[in-house]
Copies of this chain bind each other. A is one copy, B any other.
Amino acid sequence: MLAEGAIGAGQIAEAYKAYLTCLNLRRWNDLGHFVAEDVKHNGQAFGLAGYRRMLEEDVRAIPDLRFRADLVAVTSPILACRLAFDCTPAGALFGLPVNGRRIRFGEHAFYRFEGLRIVEVWSIIDRASVARQVVSEGSD
């Protein structure tokens, strides 16, 4: 049973799907529909403007970045997503010389929603996997 005013898991899952579509279409001006003004990211008070900047920088570093949800679990107001990336970063990524090679890696992110907007994100990216791919490709 939901507390009064609480949003159901299905609605949160739908909002998140629309958020990923917004990112994949690079519709930065729509980001405020999905992300709150006072959003926090890994404990830092990014705010919507800082959050947008982070995404724009990610896309600059990885022009073919596509956000694909591999696994999703929701218990309102928390949504967790395993994102699976398959991309070719232009230069360095996480300080590693990827230089246009194709790499695959995961990100595990938890989001807290207020209404249908994301207010807090906890994210861990599998950098060790990127490092392994750069090293193993480099030694071919």
Size bin of chain A's contact surface: 20 to 34
Nearest opposing residue in chain B for A107, CB measure: B124
Chain B's nearest CB lies how many Å from the CB of A65?
A: 18
The answer to whether B71 touches A74, judged by C-beta atoms less than 8 angstroms apart, is no
How many copies of this chain?
A: 2
Query: In the complex, A35 Cα to B80 Cα: how many Å?
Result: 22
B residues less than 8 Å from A13 (CB atoms): 75
Q: Which residue of B71, B80, B82, B126 is within 8 Å of A71 (Cβ)? A: B80
- Would you give the 0/1 interface string for A95-126, flagging 1 where the beta carbon is closer than 8 Å to chain B? 00000000000111110000000000011111
The answer to whether A71 touches B127, judged by C-beta atoms less than 8 angstroms apart, is no
- Cβ of A36 within 8 Å of any chain B Cβ, yes or no, is no
Contacts A73-B110, A127-B127 aside, 8 further interface pairs with beta carbons under 8 A come to A71-B78, A71-B122, A72-B78, A73-B80, A74-B74, A80-B82, A108-B108, A127-B128
Interface residues of A (CB under 8 A from B): 9, 13, 71-75, 78-80, 82, 106-110, 122-128
